[in-house]
Chains A and B, each alone.
Chain A
Amino acid sequence: MIRNNVVYSRLGELKILEVFEDYDGPKLFSCESLSGHKYIVLWIDSTNDFDRWFYLPISNSRLESVRQGIITLFECFSEPEDRWLWEVKTYHVNNKEENKQIGIGEISEEDLPDREAVLNLKARRLSELTDTPLDEAERSRREVVDLALNLNEAHSTEIESDQLGLVLHRFQSLVRSLGHKSDTVKGRIPKKIEDGNTLMVVGFYAASFGVRLESKYNANLFNYTEMTSSLGMLMDLIEAKDDRQNLLNVLEQLSPKSIARYRFLLKVLRDGNMAMRLQWANPLKTDRQVGISIKEVYSVLELLKEEGKDVSEIYTLDGTLVGLSKTRKSFEFQTFDGDKFAGILSEELLKRQFKIQSDVRVSIEETLELSPLTQEERITYKLIDVVEFDDILRQSHNGNNDQEQN
């Protein structure tokens, strides 16, 4: 029975923490025993004599994932972390109660929420980092990266906020680049890939200065996330350290943008005199650790000098020329997929006439560089060439005529 926000049960006195669904009383809620064990409780049935409930033991991190809708209610109850849950019958008279353990294979779908039903609550607080990365990855079904920074080779538990910000920013940029398999795909990283390769800060811990990062999305049925391979590549890259041959082997598989972004990350480590250690775990039971010392940071940067300073790529895109100013030497272009580009005009294009709002094929040069002033990563665009679709069609038509004449 529930009295004054406490569930009196044979499982103990359970204080209700949060009610997610109410109908003539709490029907889906989280609660905690006096010894700190948490449960999520679901009303599954009622008869004339009793109500039936599921009491699911749950970890802090998984409860948080359920609250935020990262894990559906169906998944939460159909795949208990402990592989069992309590079925509790509460009788309407005499407060009689019957409890039994139900194994993962005995849970009937009719006793579960709809497959797509989720809670959609805001994150409550940073989770407590009591779990190892592997435990956390298995519970949350997300990629987990513990990133530890060792400042001045000393065990300081404090870091300047802008230094931490830069490390996290460049680390994230590198992971996103690695997620874009640009040996086959050129151009700006699509938003979907950026989103799928996004890491969330979920907590801090004392390990010099430690930050726990987790993938924004949880794993699919096969325990893979969109960033599983990106993180594997990242670990290979750092593990190669300053071994020239190993490093070259890994670099061969990377896009110029990824190499530049690795260099940018190393630069911020060098400038902050920081060593970095990573531990990566995921629901596939991967548990891998790599690290790079300050000395190795310097050596790798020296080796990467040969890979060029700034990175430029030219790519061809179809879309609409939205705006153009010859006085300001600027342009604005939108692809048919909706990606927008703005930047400067090349000198050659200043002499030409253009129709605004026309459908065109453009060549754009993208340059990735570090701002000398702020040390922030900057991507600039230069419009190199514009061909109107009418001209492309005319050329294609002429080509066909020539072939017919031949």
Chain B
Amino acid sequence: MTEAEREWPEYYPTDCPKPGARNDEIGAYRAIKTDTPAPDDFIPVIILSPERDYKDICEASGLSVFSDVQDLIRKRKRLPGFRKLYKSIAFGTITPDSGLHMSTGKDSHITWWVYVGFQPHVYFKAIPMEG
């Protein structure tokens, strides 16, 4: 993707991504619904549930990923809803040409804002899970 092609989705609020968001390369984990990452697994929550009242619309416009897989494993153990909805965890590398990312939240949660046209699911692969 060239510099000229990089643009953000139109539903992003002003000043989103947030100041301080980075574009360095990092590894990240995301919960997915089957054992193969699909486009449906990478839809921002604000598109999935637009009716909800979001504390932070900019964060809700990005994708939730985690730098530490243990945070997702813990959620699977604690949350039956999470365990039922997300059968697998996928790992991928966030590269500078995919968008920007920023640490948001208490644990290793990262919000990943993805450029229009970038297909995140292609860069993720399910990892073996216990249980």
Contact = CB atoms under 8 A, between A and B. Distances in A.
Interface of A: 1-4, 20-25, 27-28, 42-46, 51-52, 73, 92-93, 110-114, 116-117
16 contacts: A1-B53, A3-B53, A21-B78, A21-B79, A23-B64, A23-B79, A27-B75, A28-B78, A45-B81, A51-B81, A93-B51, A113-B78, A113-B79, A114-B76, A116-B77, A117-B74
Contact of B77 (A27, A44, A114): A114
A128 B78 CA distance: 28
Contacts of B80: 42-45, 110-113
Contacts of B64: 23-24
Q: Identify the interface centre among B49, B76, B78, B80: most chain A CB within 10 Å of its CB.
A: B80
Contacts of B116: none
Contacts of A113: 77-80
Interface string B65-78: 00000000011111
Given A24-B49, A45-B81, A92-B49, 4 more contacts: A23-B82, A110-B80, A110-B84, A114-B78
Nearest to B84: A45
Measured as residues with beta carbon below 8 angstroms from the partner, the interface class of chain B is 20 to 34
A43 to B, nearest CB: 4
B38 interface: no
B84 A46 contact: yes
B62 to A, nearest CB: 11
B45 interface: yes
A25 B51 CA distance: 13
A172 to B, nearest CB: 34
Nearest to A109: B80
A51 B81 CA distance: 8
B40 to A, nearest CB: 12
Interface in B75-116: 75-82, 84-85, 105-106, 109
Contacts of B51: 92-93
Given A113-B77, A113-B78, A117-B77, A22 B105 contact: yes
Interface string B40-52: 0000010001011
A185 to B, nearest CB: 39
Contacts of A114: 76-78
Contacts of A3: 53
A73 B78 contact: yes
> Which 3 residue pairs across A and B have the least CB separation, nearest first?
A43-B81, A114-B77, A117-B77
A80 to B, nearest CB: 16
